[in-house]
A and B are shown apart, each in its own frame.
Chain A
Amino acid sequence: GAVVSQHPSWVICKSGTSVKIECRSLDFQATTMFWYRQFPKQSLMLMATSNEGSKATYEQGVEKDKFLINHASLTLSTLTVTSAHPEDSSFYICSARDYSGRGTGELFFGEGSRLTVL
């Protein structure tokens, strides 16, 4: 079946640095990808919708200048956490839908990327 891959799976960085997380759809093209954040023992909160070739749409309360999203191709979206601080430590998960001819429109999730900011 369709697979969404994230990299890195975990990252530790110092406060003030920037971190880039990649999300790839491995065997289908995704014009739209979604980025979620999940704090320990909590639900997934949608951060933004990433649109190929155009600007991302951010949810209310999410700082677009802090969480930069780039969807440069039909199989790759990146999330950059700029000037990361300890409160940005979280589990970041991307997802994408397969609307190809064989796809059901199911939303596939990546394995997640755990960010720890020291």
Chain B
Amino acid sequence: QQQVKQSPQSLIVQKGGISIINCAYENTAFDYFPWYQQFPGKGPALLIAIRPDVSEKKEGRFTISFNKSAKQFSLHIMDSQPGDSATYFCAASIGFRTGNEKLTFGTGTRLTIIP
């Protein structure tokens, strides 16, 4: 019930292309869905996040699409650049801003942008 399933496991995209990573969840109580970017040997950094009351959120080249009825959300990276090569994790939590909400992470997607 607490799982967040992420796909694909790895992704290779040409520079300038669109990178798309998908996540699905079961627990309808989740109310916060962030995406994290992690470079090797570093901690994750928040990229963009969405709450279930909106269907899309865009920040620069990064867009989250959220489908509440399908219990799915995805990350789109437009105009992908070599510097975007990293591992991306989706996550979900319950109890937004209550102070004790715990993140459940997806399994991660290793993205490689080739020139």
Contact = CB atoms under 8 A, between A and B. Distances in A.
Interface of A: 4, 6, 31-32, 34, 41-46, 49, 93, 95, 97, 99, 105-112, 114
Q: Which of B41, B89, B106, B107 has the most CB of A within 10 A?
A: B41
B106 A43 contact: yes
A62 B34 CA distance: 25
B106 to A, nearest CB: 7
B54 to A, nearest CB: 16
Interface in B6-37: 34, 36
A31 B103 contact: no
Interface string B30-59: 000010100001111110010000000000
Given A44-B44, A106-B49, 11 more contacts: A32-B99, A34-B103, A42-B107, A43-B89, A43-B106, A44-B103, A93-B44, A95-B43, A107-B46, A112-B41, A112-B43
Given A93-B44, A110-B43, A46 B99 contact: no
